[in-house]
Chain A
Amino acid sequence: MSEPLVTVRNLSRTFDVSKPWLNRVLEREERRLLRAVQDVSFTIGKRETFALVGESGSGKSTVANMVVGLLEPSAGSVLIDGVDMASTKDPAKLKAVRSKIQMIFQSPFASLNPRWRVDRIIAEPIRAFGLMSDSREIAEEVGRLLRTVGLDPADGTKFPHEFSGGQRQRVAIARALASRPEFIVCDEPTSALDVSVQAQILNLMRDLQDQYGLTYLFISHNLAVVRHMATRIGVMYLGRLVEVAPGRQLFAAPRHPYTRMLLDAVPDLDMTGRARKPVLGEIPNPITPPAGCPFNPRCPLANGRCRTEVPASVTDALGTVACHAVTEGRLAA
């Protein structure tokens, strides 16, 4: 098995959301820290699609931002093809790594500069990494990319607002492909799209992955979409990675109580009339998380140890889980 393309080790990120210094002094308040991501580790192999699933406050978008280099980690490291972007000082090396990574965002409206024409938007990675310099060549490449994502090369002269949401997302994908990346981070790429448009975009992304040998980090809150796209899935809750397992495995036999609860909460489209366990509580405030395992207030299997000790991640043949009930064998099949 070759080296994984992406290695994330003990990644953490804390935000200081305290009030301004003067207010704190006058009101005698403590510093407030938001631990958005705590001790997250995973690897992504070449041509694989790794999905990170979680609800709001889980920290999945923060992880994505750190992997791509938009945010600096507070602790831990991200290695892309063996290079750590946060600690590399050599600009040439940094540029080389950067050209291998691209990102696709959730909002088709805000991810394209409304004042730029589409051909300029798509050509930007080519120009930023100096891959081509002749403007005719660049124009041809832009035309080719537009056709690859299912748009007309003549659309290059239009502005983003002249396109629908799905078409804009295609433009964003064309831009991501322009620098011939190996690794694309997709942050909820279809959450803002209609269901039928989502189907087109997901199919397109899979075709492109086969055609270009791409590796994806796919962030989503939609379990059904993730089921369709991912080879391996990581479930996050309140900043921690609670379970990692191959796709089929996770849906067939979820182990962590949160994963089970999440799968249970997905609306039953096939109307099998399956019995549903009522879902308890809501996600706590990330600034004041519960002590011990973050899921313990809502967990049907919580015991004393869960309320005091954070469970460690345990990896076995089935995957990785961070749960006392699993390690203690208390989990019902």
Chain B
Amino acid sequence: MTTPVLSVRDLVVEFPTRRGTLTAVDRISFDIAPGEVLGVVGESGAGKSMTGAAVIGLLEPPGRIAGGEILLKGERIDNLPLEAMRKVRGKRVGMVFQDPLTSLNPLYRVGEQLIETIQTHTTLTTAQARARAIDLLTEVGIPAPDKRIDAYPHQFSGGMRQRVVLALALCAEPELVIADEPTTALDVSVQAQIISLLKNLCKQHNTAVMLITHDMGVIAETADRVAVMYAGRIAEIGPVQDVIKRAKHPYTQGLMGSIPSLDATSDRLVQIPGSMPRLTAIPKGCAFNPRCPAVFARCREERPDPIPVGASQVACWLHSSDQEKAA
């Protein structure tokens, strides 16, 4: 079994505030194999962006990693000093953010930003770096790259800008790319282009991808495996076909039922009553228990750890093999 590119073990992210410590991510664990696309799906407040920020070391203070380990190809990166982390970031882990408008510095030409990143992480000369930048721009589908390399970000459209951001993320040949809502700010037709570009590029370079999004459709198209997050915990994680078509956690089932689809025939969307708990009021036991249609006594007392069911893992007492579940 090959070493996974990314291995997260019992990660805890906390925010000390004057009203007490808030736990944004509460003991989650997952692996990403080389070349694999893992989708991290959840609604707002589920902690998925926090997880991405924690992995790449860009948590906004006072947020901090309060427990657990993050291993990149077997080496720990969560406890590295700032300088060492800076070398990892960009070279071994790339990042694509949501808003292409603010991801690129509007004052610098696109070429300058690309060349700067390339030269920070490799030993190429400026001329070589420029040639590499032009190659990258061709790869991401920018027409006339030798001319466009000298353009400013505002001279590109939204979709083109996101392609440049992809090029920036991939320019140092990282082992892992974290994409945080890469298509949310784009039109539907452009979204489709960017998703397929991301997928193809990562297959070609054998880069693993951690795709964070709230859009299940994007996951269905792009991911190999998916982790569903709820209130800072992983509810279900498994192959994308299994999770989407044969969801085992009641939350995932509710989520899939509430998504309107083009081929739907029913009149009403499935509605999960209530809303995700705020970080200050996470229920005891399983975080989903107040809203769960199949809740029983144990759910309110003990938090379920992920239980293997087939090729997935589900954090739900319904799948426990104990006799106690009937209580």
Contact = CB atoms under 8 A, between A and B. Distances in A.
Interface of A: 55-56, 164-167, 194-200, 202-203, 206, 221-225, 227-228, 251, 261-271, 276, 278-279, 282-283
Interface string B235-248: 00000110011000
A84 B48 CA distance: 49
A162 to B, nearest CB: 11
Contact of B43 (A195, A268, A278): A195
Given A269-B259, A279-B189, A283-B187, A196 B254 contact: yes
B188 A223 contact: yes
A267 B260 contact: no
A263 B262 contact: yes
B261 A55 contact: no
Contact of B217 (A228, A263, A269): A269
A251 B265 CA distance: 12
A167 B274 CA distance: 10
A311 to B, nearest CB: 20
B215 A228 contact: no
A56 B259 contact: no
A262 B220 contact: no
Contacts of A263: 262
Interface residues of B, number: 44
Contacts of A227: 260-262, 264
A222 B260 CA distance: 10
Contacts, number: 119
B258 A269 contact: no
B261 A199 contact: no
A195 B220 contact: no
Contacts of B160: 282
Interface stretch (B98-106, B191-199, B308-316): B191-199
9 contacts: A164-B275, A194-B214, A199-B271, A224-B262, A262-B189, A271-B240, A271-B245, A278-B193, A282-B157
Interface in B201-260: 214-218, 220-221, 240-241, 244-245, 254-255, 257-260
A35 to B, nearest CB: 19
Q: Which of A195, A202, A264 has the most CB of B within 10 A?
A: A195
B273 to A, nearest CB: 8
A195 B240 CA distance: 18
Contacts of B258: 195-196, 198-199
Closest A-B pairs by Cβ, 5 of them: A267-B217, A199-B258, A194-B43, A199-B269, A55-B187
B270 A166 contact: no
A195 B157 contact: no
A254 B266 CA distance: 21
Given A194-B214, A224-B264, A265-B192, 15 more contacts: A166-B275, A195-B214, A196-B255, A199-B260, A199-B269, A203-B268, A224-B259, A228-B264, A251-B262, A266-B188, A268-B217, A269-B220, A271-B220, A276-B192, A279-B190
Interface in B129-147: none
Contacts of B255: 195-196
Contact of A282 (B190, B245, B260): B190
Contacts of B187: 55-56, 221, 282-283
A266 B217 contact: yes
B269 A203 contact: yes
A242 to B, nearest CB: 14
A194 B259 CA distance: 10
A262 to B, nearest CB: 7
B295 interface: no
B275 A265 contact: no
B280 interface: no
A267 B157 contact: no
B189 A261 contact: yes
Contacts of A268: 217, 220-221
Nearest to B185: A56
A194 B274 CA distance: 13
